Amino acid sequence: MTGRPALRRPIVASGGGGFSPLTERSRVEEHVVALAREVRGRKRPRVCLIGTATGDDDAWIARFHEVFADLAETSHLALFDRTVEDIPAFLLAHDAVWVSGGNTASMLAVWRAHGVDSALRMAHQTGIVLAGRSAGSICWFEGGTTDSYGPTIQAFIGGLGFIPGSNSPHYDGEPQRRPAYHALVADGSLLAGIAVDDFAAAVYDGPTLIEVVAAHAGPAAYRVEAAADGVVETVLPVRVLP
């Protein structure tokens, strides 16, 4: 697809944007399906939505099936009205997992109660594409910025840790995110990490950043690290998706 070596354990961490009950999918989400097709070798990849962070909201689930129906075989994993008994077997039968935005802290707590965290670790080891936006982006890291605990952006440090460090989504979409992330990295509440604008995504192979992609020109991603006088923010190269 891009002249790079084939990815073995892809993770796509999107800052935000894309499909919702009222909006269309973005090229970032289409790129996730394309990666699943490339990595797993299935023309119509099997893609599963995990919507725990929205409380398995029916409108989000219905919209997911609608907007991806032409690209993939779709399914979803509901935990609040659970019908899947063997979650590891269910997830391992897919080529990609898309995790919705919503409440990051609540999502991780529910995942751990149902064993989804260990099932996703198995999926990651087998090369299933893991992806998501906002909460569905933070979860793959050790931590990140969150509004899970109220309207003020705070540190969340209970991520799955597949990628070391921290992640701040919605970097250009929510005015609080940038100053909060700088402050939390500067005082050690969060480890150094990556900040991602809406409609951009960081693509990893295991813990290694491979590239940053964007749905259109403008969105970017940044490396954010603590420094003697606060933080250093470094813009990363971006490939605009065709």
User: Which of 31, 94, 170, 182 is the catalytic position?
Assistant: 170
**What is the structure's pLDDT at 196?**
98
Average pLDDT over the chain, rounded to an integer: 96
**What is the structure's pLDDT at 2?**
57
73 versus 4: which is more confidently predicted? 73
Mean pLDDT over 96-124 rounds to 98
**pTM for this model (two decimals):** 0.96
Q: Cα 231 to chain center, whole Å?
A: 24
User: Which of 26, 134, 166, 168 is the catalytic position?
Assistant: 134
**What is the structure's pLDDT at 5?**
74
**Strand order through the sheet with 141-146:** 154-156, 141-146, 163-168, 193-196, 221-227, 230-235
Residue 4 confidence (pLDDT) above 90:
no
3-state secondary structure of 99: strand
Residue 1 confidence (pLDDT) above 60:
no
Q: Which residues of 66-92 are buried (b: 16+ CB within 10 A; e: fewer)?
A: ebbeebbebbbbbbeeeeeeebbeebe
Q: Is 134 a catalytic residue?
A: yes
What digits encode the pLDDT tens for the residues 123-181?
A: 999 999 999 999 999 999 999 999 999 999 999 999 999 999 999 999 999 999 999 99
User: How many other β-carbons are positioned within 10 Å of the β-carbon of residue 241?
Assistant: 17
Q: Place 6 in a pLDDT band, splitting at 50, 70 and 90.
A: confident
The percentage of the chain sitting over the pLDDT mark of 70, rounded to a whole number, equals: 98
Q: Is 170 a catalytic residue?
A: yes
Whether residue 182 contacts residue 202, with contact meaning beta carbons closer than 8 Å, is answered with no
| Alpha carbon distances (Å) from 179 to 152, 153, 171, 175, 238 | 12, 10, 10, 8, 22
Domains and CATH numbers, the chain: 10-240 (3.40.50.880)
220: left (phi over 0), alpha (psi -120 to 50) or beta: beta
Q: Which of 168-172, 220-224, 229-233 has the lowest mean pLDDT?
A: 229-233
Per-residue tokens: 211: 């590239």
What digits encode the pLDDT tens for the residues 79-96?
A: 999 999 999 999 999 999
**What is the structure's pLDDT at 237?**
98
Among 78, 139, 85, which Cα is nearest to 109's? 139
User: Apex CA 163: angle with CA 229 and CA 1, to 5°?
Assistant: 110
The percentage of the chain sitting over the pLDDT mark of 90, rounded to a whole number, equals: 97
Q: How many CA atoms lie less than 13 Å away from 38 in the CB half-sphere?
A: 17
What digits encode the pLDDT tens for the residues 186-198?
A: 999 999 999 999 9
